[in-house]
Structures are given as C-alpha cells and as structure tokens.
C-alpha cells in the first residue's frame, strides 16, 4: 500500500483473467480445478478493490468465444459461477457492493441466470463499489447490438442521423451506466484484449503480466495500480497542457 497514492486511484479497473487452464496443467490438475483455483483470486481481487476504494471492477468471466469450449467445461464454469454468487451474496451486502453483469445473459443456464438476476436485484442499492461481470460477452457483438438498436430508434423517428456521435453510441452499450476503464490488467502472459470492451478502452492504460490468474494476488494488483499511477494520461494533449 505504500506504493499507492489513494488520491490517484483508477476509478474503473477491468481484468482479463487468463491462465486457469495453464495453471492446472502445470500442477497436473484438470482444467476445471484450475477454474476453481482462479475463483480464489476473484475473491482476493474484489476484496482488495473494495478496501482501497476502487469504484468499479469489471471481470471478463466468460466470453462469447468460450461457448466453443467442451460442454463439460462449460457446465463446470456455470456451476462455479452459481457457487460464487451463492457464497459471496452476503459479503456483497455487508461490503455495500453492487453486482452488475453485461453480455448476452439470456444464453446462460436458466438456474445461473435466475441466481444472477436475483443477486443483481438484491444488491442494486449498494453504492460503495460495482462488481461488473462480463458474461457471454463479446465487444464486437456489443457494438453490433448498439448499431441495431440505434437503427431501430432511427427508423422510429427517435434519432436523427446528425445526432449520432460517440456519446449517443455510449448510451446504447451494455456499460452505459459505468465510466470507461482507466486500467486493464491481463494475466497469463498474452498481449491482446480478446474482444473485450473494444469501444470503451480507447484511452485505457494496459498492464500485462505473465502471472497466471490463480496466482494473481493483492501484491500484484497493487503493483499494477502503482504502475498506472506513474503514467501520464494525456488523452491526445501535450504534457505542457496538463500542467
């Protein structure tokens, strides 16, 4: 914590939680056990973000592409998600954390969707932090969805062509209620954003680490934030204009 300036925290941290399968393989375990171990990192990360004052934490929990994985693994991931919601519901209430979810949620298993909707409703008035789960999510699909909805409203006469700008598009995205991410963390050693929050990350700072997600703990989260605080965010301006 000595590395962190509490006055310069990112408002919104987004995380691509990569490496569960490779962690499991390196420990001679099945992939499902790797995902279960990764859930421990989720708990640590959520608690740390809440403790230090992060406003929004978005976790890339299940992508649209993940539906292509073996059926057994998908069933295990759905079961693990429901278990997580069951176990963390009380803590979200105690810690004043609001749960949100973005993506094509209707594709989720019925029992998982019902639990997710119940937990979101129960925590909807919590205000200290937003935990936003990207589930059955794809950035390109989100933009395509926004385009379809804008066209529909345009044909209905609710929108004129010259009214379409970045701010209007933002209002049609899943994340319309949230600020754009300030910091993206990706574990697992890969250097790509994998169809995650494509519109929202125009000016996000990236932090990549070789640490596999099940090994990601508070120390490295704080290191990522410390590195973020060392960067100069100009948003197209010069350094002199920021003084």
Is 66 a catalytic site residue?
yes
- Which candidate in 2, 5, 66, 195 is catalytic? 66
Query: What is the DSSP annotation of 97-138?
Result: EEEEEES-GGGS-HHHHHHHHHHHHHTTT--SEEEEEEEEE-
Backbone φ and ψ for 192, nearest 5 degrees, come out as: -155, 165
- Number of neighbouring beta carbons within 10 Å of residue 163: 11
18 tagged catalytic: yes
For CA atoms 157, 163, 164, 168, the dihedral sign is negative
Contact 92, 71 (CB under 8 A): no
| CA–CA separation, 183 and 107 (whole Å) | 28
Q: Which of 18, 20, 132, 182 is catalytic?
A: 18
- Three-state SS at 58: strand
Strand partners, 101: 133
CA distance 34 to 22: 8
What are φ and ψ of residue 206, in 5° steps? -105, 140
Q: Which string of DSSP letters, residue by residue, matches 28-44? A: T--HHHHHHHHHHHHHH
Neighbouring CB atoms inside 10 A of 122's CB total: 14
What residues act catalytically?
A: 18, 66
């Amino acid at each position: 914590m000595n590395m962190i300036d509490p006055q310069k925290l990112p408002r919104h941290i987004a995380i691509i939680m990569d490496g569960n399968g490779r962690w499991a393989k390196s420990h001679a375990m099945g992939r499902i056990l790797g995902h279960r171990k990764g859930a421990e990192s989720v708990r640590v990360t959520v608690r740390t973000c809440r403790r230090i004052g992060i406003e929004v934490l978005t976790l890339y929990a299940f992508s649209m592409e993940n539906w292509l994985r073996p059926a057994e693994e998908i069933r295990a991931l759905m079961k693990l998600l429901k278990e997580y919601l069951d176990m963390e519901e009380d803590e979200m209430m105690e810690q004043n954390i609001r749960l949100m979810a973005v993506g094509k949620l209707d594709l989720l298993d019925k029992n998982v969707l019902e639990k997710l909707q119940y937990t979101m409703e129960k925590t909807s008035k919590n205000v200290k932090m937003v935990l936003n789960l990207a589930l059955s999510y794809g950035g390109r699909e989100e933009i395509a969805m926004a385009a379809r909805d804008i066209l529909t409203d345009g044909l209905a006469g609710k929108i004129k062509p010259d009214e379409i700008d970045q701010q209007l598009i933002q209002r049609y995205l899943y994340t319309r209620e949230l600020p754009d991410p300030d910091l993206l963390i990706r574990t697992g050693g890969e250097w790509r954003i994998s169809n995650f929050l494509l519109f929202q990350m125009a000016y996000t700072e990236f932090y990549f680490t070789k640490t596999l997600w099940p090994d990601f703990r508070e120390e490295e989260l704080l290191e990522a934030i410390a590195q973020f605080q060392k960067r100069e965010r100009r948003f197209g301006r010069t350094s002199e204009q920021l003084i």
